[in-house]
Amino acid sequence: MSELKHLKKEWKAIMSCMGCGDCGYAIRPAVDRYLTCPVKEAKGEGGFEIYFARGRMNVLKSILEEQIPLSRELAEFVYECMECGNCTEVCHMSQNEYIVLNTSKWIDHVKVWEALRKDLVEAGFAPLDRHGKLIDYMKDDNMRNPYGEDEAKKFEWTTKFPEIKDRGELVFFGGCTMPLRQVDTLKSMMKILKAAGKDIAMSKDEWCCGSVALRIGDESSVIDIVKHNIDVFKNMGAKTIFTACAGCYRTWKKDYPELLGEDLPFEVKHITEILVDMLNNNEIPFKLVEGSETVTWHDPCHLGRHMNLYEIPRDALLKIPGLELKEMKRNRNNAWCCGAGGGVKSEFPDLALDISKERIKEAVDTGAQILTTSCPFCIGNLSDAYKEMETDVQEKITVIDIIDLIAKKI
């Protein structure tokens, strides 16, 4: 048996699950709750207990009681989970603000799932094949990103923007996905910042934030990355760093301080926080707009449930001329995951796409013309799913990052 040192720290949470099954079956229209687990639903009739939280908790109880060992077979099931956190939102909830059950505060499911993944990695049963390659790429001195690209390629886009400074108080962390897969959105971001008269700094010494390894459970691979990145930004004189990636944002703002056991020496913001400040101060010179478009907002899990950043993106959308916001049936803490997170997109791409198609259908049901969000993983997976959907769906709605949406209106 493995030492299970991480799971043992979560034993109270694991043992407090009373097996009610709301994490798999809850439907409560009065509070906008329409089911909970995207993986279970995507599996259809094959979505048995191990695919949602109740079954997983029962397995973990048996592991702690040494009735079931950790194994590679178990790992294959464990990683079919985005760690979206929707199960926590329904767990032991009375759905009445005046009745708070103590047990509703005892289980942080994402924390439990991450503990299991750490123990699987340390026991040698994880990472899975594709996940292992991502981590190897991330640690490679010539790459420093999970895409296996040459490190210099991450910064090629900056050559078109000589106004980006080497030092400054407002520093942009580019991450990996946008510079290597969605570079046009970064160009849109610079268009907005330039139009608003904002100066930013950026470093070509930044490494991948390490989110991919943390979500997979390989914490030991990230410690040096954390220290390196913090030193880089300290030496730049940063007072605020911001990122356009929801995963990077969660990693910097939540994981880094927890791993170090101390506060960061600067503030961490998401791009939507920067955008809403500019919009509130009327710093973005929009074109005159005739007519209006309807838009719906997808809550990225790493922004919403993980970091409670729900209203700022909506405030930003409401400040954009010519837009009307229509909410999806499942929104904010009840929002349906896009299907990409937790390593699912890389290891189980078909599952990720099935979940994303469900989310696009929900967006279409609002009658909105535009589905927007602010997470490169969400944008990537939603766009991939969108391309596979019927023509009549594609004619009804488009998928676009909020940065590109704003830039088009300048």
**pLDDT, tens only, 361-393:** 999 999 999 999 999 999 999 999 999 999 999
Looking at residue 235, what is its pLDDT? 97
**Is the pLDDT assigned to residue 31 strictly greater than 90?**
no
Q: pLDDT class for 65, splitting at 50, 70, 90? A: very high
Q: Where are the alpha helices (DSSP H) in 209-299?
A: 211-216, 223-235, 246-250, 256-260, 271-280
Nearest of 252, 268, 248, 269 to residue 260 by alpha carbon = 252
CA 407 to each of CA 194, 294, 401: distance values in angstroms, whole numbers, following the listed order: 11, 17, 10
- The pLDDT tens digits for 190-249 are 999 999 999 999 999 999 999 999 999 999 999 999 999 999 999 999 999 999 999 999
Task: Enter the CATH code of domain 286-407.
Answer: 3.40.50
Q: Distance between CA atoms of 342 and 27, rounded to whole angstroms? A: 25
Looking at residue 142, what is its pLDDT? 98
Quick one: which H or E segment has residue 7?
helix 5-9
* Cis check: omega of the bond before 127, within 30 degrees of 0: yes
Strand, coil or helix: 242: strand
**Is the pLDDT assigned to residue 2 strictly greater than 80?**
no
Catalogue the E-assigned strands of 104-263.
170-173, 240-243
Q: What is the mean pLDDT of the chain?
A: 96
Q: What are phi and psi of 225, to 5 degrees?
A: -65, -45
Looking at residue 101, what is its pLDDT? 82
- The pLDDT tens digits for 396-407 are 999 999 999 999
Q: What is the dihedral of CA 200, 206, 212, 218, to 10 degrees?
A: -140
Q: What are phi and psi of 71, to 5 degrees?
A: -160, 165
CATH 3.40.50.1860 in the chain, residue ranges: 140-278
Order of strands across the sheet with 170-173? 170-173, 240-243, 267-270
Instruction: Give, rounded to a whole angstrom, the gap between the first and last alpha carbons of the chain.
Output: 60
Q: Where are the alpha helices (DSSP H) in 65-108?
A: 72-78, 86-90
What is the assigned CATH class of domain 140-278?
alpha beta
Q: pLDDT class for 1, splitting at 50, 70, 90? A: low
Q: Are 335 and 328 in contact (CB under 8 A)?
A: yes
Q: Distance between CA atoms of 128 and 121, rounded to whole angstroms? A: 9
CA 310 to each of CA 85, 286, 298, 300, 373: distance values in angstroms, whole numbers, following the listed order: 15, 24, 10, 9, 11
Exposure string for 375-404, b = 16+ CB within 10 A, e = fewer? bbbbbbbbbbbbeebeeebeebbbbbbbbb
Q: Where are the alpha helices (DSSP H) in 297-401?
A: 311-318, 344-347, 349-365, 376-388, 391-396
- The pLDDT tens digits for 77-128 are 999 999 999 999 999 888 888 988 887 778 999 999 999 999 999 999 999 9
**Is the pLDDT assigned to residue 12 strictly greater than 90?**
yes
